[in-house]
Amino acid sequence: MLKDRFGRNLNYLRLSLTDNCNLRCTYCMPHNPHFLPTDNLMAPEEINRLVLLLARLGVKKVRLTGGEPLIRKDFRRIWDLLSRTNLQLNLTTNGVFLRRYLPILSGRLHYLNVSLDSLNPGRYALISRSTPKTFNEVFGAIEEALSYDFSAVKINVVVIRGFNEDEIPEFVRLTEDWPVAVRFIEFMPFNGNGWSADRVVPVSEMMAMVTREFPLLPVSGLSNVSEDYRVPGFRGVVGFIGSMTRPFCDTCNRLRITADGHLKPCLFSPYEVDLLGPMRRGATDNELTDIIVRTVMEKPKGHPGVAELSRTAHENRRMSAIGG
């Protein structure tokens, strides 16, 4: 097992395929972002090599993220390589191009997460800097995904005060007929995303909004980051992720690799170590393993408090450049 100095088993890799995206969500990236040159991105074979190496070190699950992973022109090649492993494969996507990939994901993908921050097409267009038509495409793709054999389809909702917190009950109603997991996520500070403490809706407040209309029964064992509940008689699950007010650092089992091949032990820390450069310069698997083990030992016990994160967010990459 790959362990950090606090004894946490790091068996979950969040792997970014690109920092680019077809949307420009306001909480994720600036209006006119600069993206990595194509040559700086890991090639499919480089991705596969690092994943296999981490699997030998004890990683069991891999989540493909971005940016938007499905905009990679070679996504099918990446998927073909990773599908040959015994790892649990998961995917986070904005859903715009999801329909075309559902058939190749079927039979191998475990968890499918789709970002959807509003059920109002006009409001969705505003936060994603897209169009109401885009909302219809994403919503339709989620509905179609429910007919496939994934272990779970999850809808990720970043809750921002003054923008979409009033939609929380409406999202909960989706779980009445849809066997989905709707997960409400506290707004987190990253470089250039307009975060401020007064825009964070704490999990406690979200839950109070829900329980005014629906009884909630706790569900255990679904996730170590989400507090999960079910409304009696509803088919789906409702989850709350409190990265700001209820951090789960003590049980964090995650590592992240950015699209340009940098290993990040902690989402909120700017600390990262290059793996792609040494790999392209001919590093052996043993040499890469050495780098990974040393980097893992720098994983902090927990992330700083809200005030400190707010002050230092500019030192980190933007969210789309780290990987969701």
The 3 state secondary structure assigned to 138-182 is: HHHHHHHHCCCCCCEEEEEEEEECCCCHHHHHHHHHHHHHCCEEE
First to last CA, the chain: 24
Taken as a whole, the chain contains a residue count of 324
The residues spanned by each domain of the chain are 12-322
Closest CA to 144 of 101, 94, 83: 101
Find the helix or strand (DSSP H, E) in which 263 lies. strand 262-264
CA distance 253 to 262: 18
How many other CB atoms are found less than 10 A from the CB of residue 125? Answer: 16
User: What per-residue confidence (pLDDT) applies to 10?
Assistant: 97
How far apart CA 50 and CA 259 sit, in angstroms, is 12
**pLDDT value, residue 321:** 81
- State residue 192's pLDDT score: 67
The answer to whether 33 and 318 are in contact (CB under 8 A) is: yes
| Overall CATH class of domain 12-322 | alpha beta
Taking the C-alpha atoms of residue 255 and residue 307, their distance in angstroms, rounded to an integer, is 24
Contact yes or no for 81/50 (Cβ under 8 A): no
Strand partners, 181: 154, 237
Q: What share of the chain is helix, strand, coil (3-state, %, to 5)?
A: 35, 20, 45
Instruction: Please tell me the distance from the alpha carbon of residue 188 to that of residue 186, in angstroms, as a whole number.
Output: 6
Can you say whether the dihedral through the CA atoms of 46, 49, 52, 57 is positive or negative? negative
| Residue-level pLDDT at 309 | 76
pLDDT (0 to 100) of residue 29: 78
pTM of the predicted structure, to 2 decimals: 0.95
Task: Please give the full DSSP string across 16-73, using - where no structure is assigned.
Answer: ES-S--S---TTTS-SS-----GGGSPPHHHHHHHHHHHHHTT--EEEEESS-GGG-T
Supply the pLDDT for residue 31.
73
pLDDT, averaged in runs of 10, over the chain (324 residues): 94 97 87 89 98 98 97 98 98 98 97 98 95 97 97 97 97 98 93 82 97 96 86 97 91 95 92 97 98 96 78 75 80
